Amino acid sequence: MFFRSMKRITIKHFLVAGLITFLTGCSSLPIQYTPSQNYNNRVRYLVLHFTGGNFEKSMNYLVKGKRSVSSHYLIPENHDETYDKKLKIFQLVDESFRAWHAGISYWDGQENLNDLSIGIELVNVPDCHQSPEELFSRDYASRLDYSNHYCFYPDFDPEQISLLIALIKKIQKKYPEITAKNIIGHSDIAPSRKLDPGPRFPWYHLYKEGIGAWYDNETVTRYWHNFAENPPSVELIQIALSEYGYRVKQTGEMDEQTTDVIVAFQTHFLPWQIDGEPDIMTAATLFALLEKYHPLRAKQLLTLYDRDQLP
């Protein structure tokens, strides 16, 4: 029995010693770090959302929910009966990991934006005639009559927006690949199934803080006069929306997918005019944005426009 015990102890000690030797060997591998200049960060997009529910429900949903939904950050709002503390930013997922906030998505040639984005949820609760589950479901959202008021969208809490601005500025310093045009809403990247962060989100206020894209009024006015007598065709507007970043097929028809994309565009840039119609002001705003952020694309589209006007 003694020899058997000694045999077991010897074998055990031998295995432990071997493991230590293996780990020591790994830590002393002859590795020299020679940094390459040919790389970029994973993060290139910033996607903004509203929760549609109060803080408590949102936290449970994003942290403990069973539907594989999360975000990197959650920012509560004042006057929420489930949140009675000083406002602060909650980080739910490390920025180096993918959070599951974008779903089926597309922006400017890139699909599956979860892979390349940071998602920020803002507690904001619209007062809707339908339940949030019905209103913001994929099947229902694509069939909304946007001329009717299904929801009252409350203003975002100014203190909440101040925290958001500070957070975005910090993120932008870390990820310079997040350009102005790559700060987008959920409805921009999934227009047929999502409506957030909604028409009350203060995109222009963020722009004045150096965050996100916006147009110059003088440029819009110039295009408005240019298009007044001969508005761009539906096909040209579809091409322009696609060139700016939205996913839209060029059918030449005012089909459902085109209406959804125009509504998403208007919600972001013309929130006082959300009707899904490709009118002159919508076209002028779209071309003004293209000229500012994609001048070459705008020039090419104007060539197409001029060609369309020929007899």
Which residues are identified as catalytic? 121
C-alpha of 302 from chain center = 29
Return the SS3 of 282. helix
Contact 188, 107 (CB under 8 A): yes
The type of residue at 165 is I
| Residue with tokens 């957030």, as numbered in its chain | 196
For residue 51, give every residue at least 6 positions away whose Cβ sits within 8 Å of its Cβ, in sequence order, or none. Answer: 57, 58, 61, 74, 121, 122, 123, 124, 125
Q: Cα(279)–Cα(97) distance, rounded to whole angstroms?
A: 41
User: What are the helix (H) ranges across the chain?
Assistant: 2-27, 55-59, 132-135, 138-141, 158-174, 186-189, 203-208, 217-227, 234-244, 256-269, 280-293, 295-309
C-alpha of 260 from chain center = 16
Contact 117, 102 (CB under 8 A): yes
